[in-house]
Amino acid sequence: MKKFFNTKWFTLATYLLLLSAISLIGFIFLQNNQTLKNVIVSFFEVAENRTFDYRQTLKIVHKQPVPNKDIVVLAIDDASLEYLWDKYGEWPIPRNVYADIINYIEKDKPQSIIFDLLFIKSIRATKDADNALISALNKYNNIYVGMNFDNLPSDVRLPINLPERLSVELKNNSNVDIKSKYSYSNCRTILSELLNGNVKVGLTNVIRNSDGIIRRVAPIVYYKDKTYPYLAFVAGSKYLEGTDVKEFTIDSSKNINIQDLKMPLNKNGELILNWYGVSGTHLNYPMYKLINDMENRALKADRMNFKDKIVIIGTTATALHDTKSVPIQDNVYPGVEVHATFFNNMLDNNFIKQAEPGINIVIVLSLILMTILIVMYSSSTIFALLSTILFAIAYLFMSYYTMELFNLWIPVVIPMMSIIVTFALTFIAKYLIKSKDFEYQYKLATIDGLTELYNHRYFQDMLRQQIELSRRYEQKFSLIIIDIDFFKKFNDTYGHQSGDAVLKQVAQTLKKNSRTTDYVCRYGGEEMSILLPNTSAEEAIFNAKRINKAVEERDFQIDSTQTSKVTISIGVSTFPDNGETPQDLIEYADKGLYYAKEHGRNQVGLANQE
């Protein structure tokens, strides 16, 4: 166990625990600082959304996925808008024109006709035109029109109670919270004959992300505590079920289910759209061509056949300003193509699922662990850096192909930041570990394990160094050699463990009574030495006597119950007065030491006393 605690992994774990503690403190701080928390969360959300956009753009470059050819956007494009202005002299066009379009398309027996248009009450519309439109819309059971919810104050527009037939039942068996974000108090109603008629009605509401881009659509929202479906969702549900669907279930895995189709919702009850291409990717058929078809102005072979098609009618002309920013870079979509994309996702079961927080945590922890291993086992800094960069690039490729192949959105921003931060911290930790290891090895090479004084080898090195420095700067330095009196007899009487205890305590006394600039060393056995830089003979003798007295006056603990007195004998030499080589200085100090021992011990002896 002790060996494990001395390993570099324990040291690294200590640094990582410290990092975790700092992160926890930061998290607690953010919890108490809502403004800063919102700024940070918003930054990461916007950054992560941008990575989604890049992945969607790359996927489209690879022509994945492929749009469904049965979806036709009947577009009021720029050319059609010019044509309609010339033909009818106004915009919006008379509503009976839409009635004629419906009756014409229905001859081909389309799967459904979806109007991304709001047929609201208008003083410009004539009664006959309205009646013709109402009759055509209510005549068939495969036509859908749009309506909007909002939160305008009741003194601006009085909210109405919608017919029961427009709402759907929702059984929510998950923690999905739709109400918090998609709960409306008012609505922009369409003609009452449509609300109460046979035509299907769905919502055209979309909420952009904070950067103004549409990435998600809620299939079901709340109005006056009842639930209502999105326009493309209600049409797509009937397409898949073969009949009108009035009840939906969100399972415990946050999927909204239609037969075998499981559409993954996020925590706000939104579906993440999977885009098929730039604007116009779905089959677009201009409305002016359709009107020409109706009036037999085109050859039969050139006419569009709408049999079994999903026809979505809406505006794409830039002058009509029904455009939305979408994830595909540098591109905007008309609202009608957003509906086409949603419907297409339903047909293909092709919505994007965002990874759950638990999976994200596992991903981040795995990346952190791999980065640690790369840095710790790399032989050089450059190799560690290049390996980490390649590892990060590999993860980026994985995040892209995970979305393209499995429709799974795994995070990029936090994992990338985790790799960068982990690399930096692990590199610092590795450097500190190496520094500590160097310090430990240096300590092993220079420090005596028992007394924790410098060892004999270090003493010899420093003695030579002091001679060189003193000779260069013409300074004096002194050497003190110390021997514990009657130490062998002490060992024989009390045992070697008590002897070791005395050695340690004598060493402590020497260090305590020496200057910080002095080098206190274990010379060998019971002998110790002190090198005193920039110290004359008189100063050295004074210090030696002070140390001698400190040892004499101390009570030494030899075991848990006994103390004993200990004395030392000391010899002193000074450079260059007593010698100019290590051998000369040691020999002169030894002579003083021998003099002290021969003349009663417990004193400072000098060689010139003989």
- pLDDT tens for residues 249-272? 999 999 999 988 899 999 999 999
**pLDDT value, residue 495:** 87
Greater confidence, 394 or 17?
Answer: 394
**pLDDT value, residue 494:** 85
DSSP state of 248: E
Burial class (CB in 10 A: 0-12, 13-18, 19+), 472: exposed
Residue 514, C-beta contacts closer than 8 angstroms, at least 6 positions apart: 520, 530, 543, 547
Is residue 279 classed as helix, strand or coil in its secondary structure?
coil
Residue 572 CA: distances (Å) to CA of 95, 419, 509, 589: 118, 61, 18, 5
pTM for the predicted model, two decimal places: 0.74
Q: Residue 391 above 70 pLDDT?
A: yes
Q: CA–CA separation, 564 vs 261, rounded Å?
A: 90
Q: Are residues 145 and 344 in contact, defined by beta-carbon separation less than 8 angstroms?
A: no
Q: Residue 470 above 80 pLDDT?
A: yes
Q: How confident is the model at residue 297 (pLDDT cuts 50, 70, 90)?
A: low
What is the average pLDDT across 447-458?
A: 91
What is the average pLDDT across 521-539?
A: 94
Q: How confident is the model at residue 241 (pLDDT cuts 50, 70, 90)?
A: very high
**pLDDT value, residue 230:** 97
Residue 351, C-beta contacts closer than 8 angstroms, at least 6 positions apart: 263, 264, 271, 272, 273, 274, 345, 407
What is the average pLDDT across 235-239?
A: 95
**pLDDT value, residue 301:** 60
Q: Residue 5 above 50 pLDDT?
A: no
State residue 188 phi and psi, 5-degree precision.
-100, 100
Residue 499, C-beta contacts closer than 8 angstroms, at least 6 positions apart: 487, 490, 491
Greater confidence, 102 or 5?
Answer: 102
Burial class (CB in 10 A: 0-12, 13-18, 19+), 185: middle
The model's pLDDT over 564-599, given as tens digits with 9 standing for 90+, comes to: 999 999 999 999 999 999 999 999 999 999 999 999
Q: Residue 434 above 80 pLDDT?
A: no
Looking at every residue in the chain, the average pLDDT score rounds to 89
Supply 464's token pair: 């030579």
Work out the number of other CB atoms within 10 angstroms of the CB of residue 268: 15
Residue reference for tokens 């800094």: 381
Q: CA–CA separation, 334 vs 316, rounded Å?
A: 5
The model's pLDDT over 119-135, given as tens digits with 9 standing for 90+, comes to: 998 877 889 999 999 99
Find the Cα–Cα–Cα–Cα dihedral 551, 554, 556, 560, rounded to 10°.
-160
Q: How confident is the model at residue 18 (pLDDT cuts 50, 70, 90)?
A: low
Greater confidence, 444 or 292?
Answer: 292
The model's pLDDT over 166-224, given as tens digits with 9 standing for 90+, comes to: 999 999 999 999 999 999 999 999 999 999 999 999 999 988 888 889 999 999 999 99
DSSP state of 474: T
DSSP string spanning 33-68?
-HHHHHHHHHHHHHHHHHHHHHHHHHHHHTT-SPPP
- Name the CA radius of gyration of the chain, rounded: 44
- On the question of a cis peptide bond just before residue 411, with omega within 30 degrees of 0, the verdict is no
